[in-house]
Protein backbone atom coordinates (compact mmCIF):
# COMPACT_ATOMS: atom_id res chain seq x y z
CA UNK A 1 0.00 0.00 0.00
CA UNK A 2 1.49 3.30 -1.01
CA UNK A 3 -1.41 5.71 -1.05
CA UNK A 4 -3.39 6.81 1.99
CA UNK A 5 -6.63 6.84 -0.01
CA UNK A 6 -6.37 3.05 -0.43
CA UNK A 7 -7.70 2.55 3.07
CA UNK A 8 -10.62 3.88 5.05
CA UNK A 9 -9.77 6.63 7.52
CA UNK A 10 -8.99 5.30 10.98
CA UNK A 11 -10.23 7.43 13.80
CA UNK A 12 -10.34 4.98 16.68
CA UNK A 13 -7.92 5.22 19.58
CA UNK A 14 -5.07 2.75 19.25
CA UNK A 15 -4.64 0.10 21.98
CA UNK A 16 -3.05 1.07 25.29
CA UNK A 17 -0.14 -1.36 24.92
CA UNK A 18 0.67 0.22 21.56
CA UNK A 19 0.66 3.64 23.21
CA UNK A 20 3.02 2.20 25.85
CA UNK A 21 5.39 1.02 23.10
CA UNK A 22 5.36 4.35 21.31
CA UNK A 23 5.39 6.70 24.30
CA UNK A 24 4.97 5.61 27.92
CA UNK A 25 7.40 2.70 28.01
CA UNK A 26 9.71 3.77 25.19
CA UNK A 27 13.02 5.06 26.44
CA UNK A 28 16.11 6.75 25.07
CA UNK A 29 18.77 4.06 24.83
CA UNK A 30 22.56 4.12 25.16
CA UNK A 31 23.27 0.38 25.55
CA UNK A 32 22.45 -2.05 22.77
CA UNK A 33 21.79 -5.77 22.43
CA UNK A 34 24.08 -7.49 19.91
CA UNK A 35 21.38 -7.81 17.25
CA UNK A 36 21.72 -6.26 13.84
CA UNK A 37 19.04 -4.19 12.16
CA UNK A 38 18.35 -5.44 8.63
CA UNK A 39 18.12 -2.77 5.94
CA UNK A 40 14.55 -3.94 5.28
CA UNK A 41 13.63 -2.69 8.77
CA UNK A 42 15.24 0.69 8.08
CA UNK A 43 13.20 0.85 4.89
CA UNK A 44 10.04 -0.02 6.84
CA UNK A 45 10.75 2.83 9.28
CA UNK A 46 11.22 5.33 6.47
CA UNK A 47 8.13 4.17 4.64
CA UNK A 48 6.02 4.87 7.74
CA UNK A 49 7.76 8.10 8.74
CA UNK A 50 7.45 9.68 5.30
CA UNK A 51 3.67 10.02 5.72
CA UNK A 52 3.99 12.51 8.57
CA UNK A 53 2.83 16.01 7.64
CA UNK A 54 5.18 18.85 6.61
CA UNK A 55 4.41 22.33 5.37
CA UNK A 56 3.49 22.31 1.67
CA UNK A 57 4.45 18.62 1.80
CA UNK A 58 8.03 19.88 1.61
CA UNK A 59 9.56 16.80 3.31
CA UNK A 60 13.03 18.37 3.68
CA UNK A 61 14.51 15.63 5.90
CA UNK A 62 17.09 13.23 4.49
CA UNK A 63 18.40 10.14 6.29
CA UNK A 64 21.92 8.71 6.09
CA UNK A 65 22.28 5.32 7.78
CA UNK A 66 25.74 4.45 9.09
CA UNK A 67 26.06 0.72 9.62
CA UNK A 68 29.61 -0.32 8.76
CA UNK A 69 32.57 0.24 11.06
CA UNK A 70 34.11 2.32 8.29
CA UNK A 71 31.13 4.64 8.12
CA UNK A 72 30.96 4.93 11.92
CA UNK A 73 34.66 5.76 12.04
CA UNK A 74 34.02 8.78 9.81
CA UNK A 75 31.46 10.06 12.35
CA UNK A 76 33.37 9.47 15.60
CA UNK A 77 35.70 12.55 15.39
CA UNK A 78 32.61 14.79 15.29
CA UNK A 79 30.97 13.31 18.40
CA UNK A 80 30.95 14.77 21.89
CA UNK A 81 33.03 12.50 24.15
CA UNK A 82 29.94 11.21 25.97
CA UNK A 83 28.37 10.03 22.72
CA UNK A 84 31.32 8.06 21.32
CA UNK A 85 30.94 4.65 22.96
CA UNK A 86 27.16 4.42 22.64
CA UNK A 87 27.42 5.32 18.95
CA UNK A 88 30.17 2.79 18.27
CA UNK A 89 28.07 0.12 19.99
CA UNK A 90 24.80 0.91 18.20
CA UNK A 91 23.93 -1.37 15.26
CA UNK A 92 23.04 1.70 13.15
CA UNK A 93 23.41 5.46 13.53
CA UNK A 94 21.29 7.69 11.34
CA UNK A 95 22.23 11.24 10.42
CA UNK A 96 18.93 13.08 10.23
CA UNK A 97 19.80 15.76 7.72
CA UNK A 98 17.92 18.37 5.72
CA UNK A 99 18.15 19.23 2.09
CA UNK A 100 18.95 22.92 1.52
CA UNK A 101 17.39 22.51 -1.94
CA UNK A 102 14.25 20.74 -0.75
CA UNK A 103 12.11 23.24 -2.69
CA UNK A 104 13.37 21.80 -6.01
CA UNK A 105 11.11 18.78 -5.33
CA UNK A 106 7.99 20.87 -4.69
CA UNK A 107 6.69 20.70 -8.29
CA UNK A 108 6.41 16.95 -7.73
CA UNK A 109 5.46 16.96 -4.04
CA UNK A 110 2.99 19.85 -4.10
CA UNK A 111 1.88 20.19 -7.74
CA UNK A 112 -1.29 22.15 -6.95
CA UNK A 113 0.64 25.42 -6.47
CA UNK A 114 3.96 26.97 -7.52
CA UNK A 115 5.65 26.64 -4.13
CA UNK A 116 9.15 26.34 -5.58
CA UNK A 117 9.32 30.01 -6.56
CA UNK A 118 8.08 30.95 -3.07
CA UNK A 119 11.40 29.66 -1.69
CA UNK A 120 14.02 30.27 -4.40
CA UNK A 121 16.60 32.87 -3.34
CA UNK A 122 15.28 33.20 0.23
CA UNK A 123 17.84 31.48 2.49
CA UNK A 124 16.27 32.51 5.83
CA UNK A 125 12.87 31.11 4.76
CA UNK A 126 14.51 27.98 3.35
CA UNK A 127 16.45 27.36 6.58
CA UNK A 128 13.50 28.03 8.87
CA UNK A 129 11.15 25.82 6.85
CA UNK A 130 13.67 23.01 6.48
CA UNK A 131 14.67 22.96 10.12
CA UNK A 132 11.10 23.07 11.43
CA UNK A 133 9.81 20.41 9.09
CA UNK A 134 12.98 18.33 9.07
CA UNK A 135 12.86 18.20 12.87
CA UNK A 136 9.21 17.18 12.77
CA UNK A 137 10.18 14.42 10.36
CA UNK A 138 12.93 13.35 12.76
CA UNK A 139 10.25 12.99 15.43
CA UNK A 140 8.03 10.98 13.08
CA UNK A 141 11.07 8.83 12.34
CA UNK A 142 11.65 8.07 16.04
CA UNK A 143 8.02 7.07 16.54
CA UNK A 144 8.05 4.98 13.35
CA UNK A 145 11.19 3.21 14.57
CA UNK A 146 9.49 2.45 17.89
CA UNK A 147 6.41 1.26 16.02
CA UNK A 148 8.41 -1.44 14.21
CA UNK A 149 10.10 -2.54 17.44
CA UNK A 150 13.34 -0.59 17.31
CA UNK A 151 14.78 1.56 20.07
CA UNK A 152 16.30 4.99 19.52
CA UNK A 153 19.04 7.13 21.04
CA UNK A 154 18.78 10.64 19.58
CA UNK A 155 21.81 12.94 19.98
CA UNK A 156 22.60 16.58 19.41
CA UNK A 157 26.01 16.33 21.06
CA UNK A 158 28.17 16.54 17.94
CA UNK A 159 29.98 19.09 15.79
CA UNK A 160 27.64 19.71 12.86
CA UNK A 161 30.33 21.49 10.82
CA UNK A 162 32.55 18.39 11.04
CA UNK A 163 29.69 16.06 10.08
CA UNK A 164 28.74 18.30 7.18
CA UNK A 165 32.34 18.49 5.94
CA UNK A 166 32.76 14.71 6.16
CA UNK A 167 29.44 13.50 4.79
CA UNK A 168 28.03 16.43 2.81
CA UNK A 169 31.04 18.22 1.30
CA UNK A 170 28.98 19.72 -1.53
CA UNK A 171 26.92 21.62 1.07
CA UNK A 172 23.55 20.46 -0.25
CA UNK A 173 22.50 18.43 2.79
CA UNK A 174 23.13 19.52 6.39
CA UNK A 175 23.03 17.52 9.62
CA UNK A 176 20.18 18.24 12.02
CA UNK A 177 20.62 15.52 14.66
CA UNK A 178 21.92 11.98 15.03
CA UNK A 179 20.00 8.95 16.23
CA UNK A 180 21.35 5.58 17.27
CA UNK A 181 19.08 2.69 16.33
CA UNK A 182 18.90 -0.90 17.47
CA UNK A 183 17.43 -3.08 20.17
CA UNK A 184 18.13 -1.42 23.50
CA UNK A 185 19.38 -3.17 26.61
CA UNK A 186 16.71 -2.17 29.13
CA UNK A 187 18.80 -3.47 32.03
CA UNK A 188 21.20 -0.55 31.47
CA UNK A 189 18.57 2.20 31.64
CA UNK A 190 18.63 4.87 34.34
CA UNK A 191 15.35 5.67 36.14
CA UNK A 192 13.21 7.82 33.92
CA UNK A 193 13.01 11.56 34.46
CA UNK A 194 9.61 13.18 34.91
CA UNK A 195 7.68 15.18 32.35
CA UNK A 196 5.72 18.36 32.88
CA UNK A 197 2.06 18.01 33.82
CA UNK A 198 -0.64 19.23 31.44
CA UNK A 199 -1.25 22.36 33.54
CA UNK A 200 2.45 23.24 33.52
CA UNK A 201 3.00 22.86 29.79
CA UNK A 202 -0.37 23.59 28.23
CA UNK A 203 -2.94 26.31 28.08
CA UNK A 204 -6.48 25.99 26.79
CA UNK A 205 -7.68 29.43 25.76
Ligand X SMILES: Cc1cc2nc3c(=O)[nH]c(=O)nc-3n(C[C@H](O)[C@H](O)[C@H](O)COP(=O)(O)O)c2cc1C
Interface residue list for ligand X (CB under 6 A): 27-28, 82-83, 154-157, 177, 192-193
Least gap, CB of 86 to ligand X (angstroms)? 7
Strand, coil or helix: what is 143? helix
Residue, CB closest to ligand X:
157
To ligand X, the closest distance from the beta carbon of 101 in angstroms equals 24
For the bound state, the minimum distance from the C-beta of residue 111 to ligand X, rounded and expressed in Å, comes to: 33
Q: Measured from the CB atom, is 27 or 105 closer to ligand X?
A: 27
> Is the CB of 82 or the CB of 171 nearer to ligand X?
82
Sheet of strand 173-182: strand arrangement: 61-66, 92-99, 173-182, 151-155
Element containing residue 99 per DSSP (H, E)? strand 92-99
Q: Work out how close the CB of 110 gets to ligand X at its nearest, in angstroms, rounded to a whole number.
A: 27
Q: Which is nearer to ligand X, 30 or 103 (by Cβ)?
A: 30
State the CB neighbour count (10 A cutoff) for residue 9.
6
Distance in angstroms (rounded) separating the CA atoms of residues 135 and 79 = 20
Q: What CA–CA distance (Å, rounded) separates 182 from 179?
A: 10
For ligand X, the closer of residues 91 and 153 by Cβ is 153
For 22, which DSSP code? I
Q: Could you give the 3-state DSSP secondary structure of residue 205?
A: coil
Give least dist CB 103 to ligand X, A: 25
Q: Which is nearer to ligand X, 116 or 132 (CB)?
A: 132
Amino acid sequence: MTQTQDVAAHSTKIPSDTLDQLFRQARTHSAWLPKRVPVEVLREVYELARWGPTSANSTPARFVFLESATAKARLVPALSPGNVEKTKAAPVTVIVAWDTEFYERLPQLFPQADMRSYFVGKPPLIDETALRNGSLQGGYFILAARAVGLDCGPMSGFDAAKVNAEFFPDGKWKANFLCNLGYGDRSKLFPRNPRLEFDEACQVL
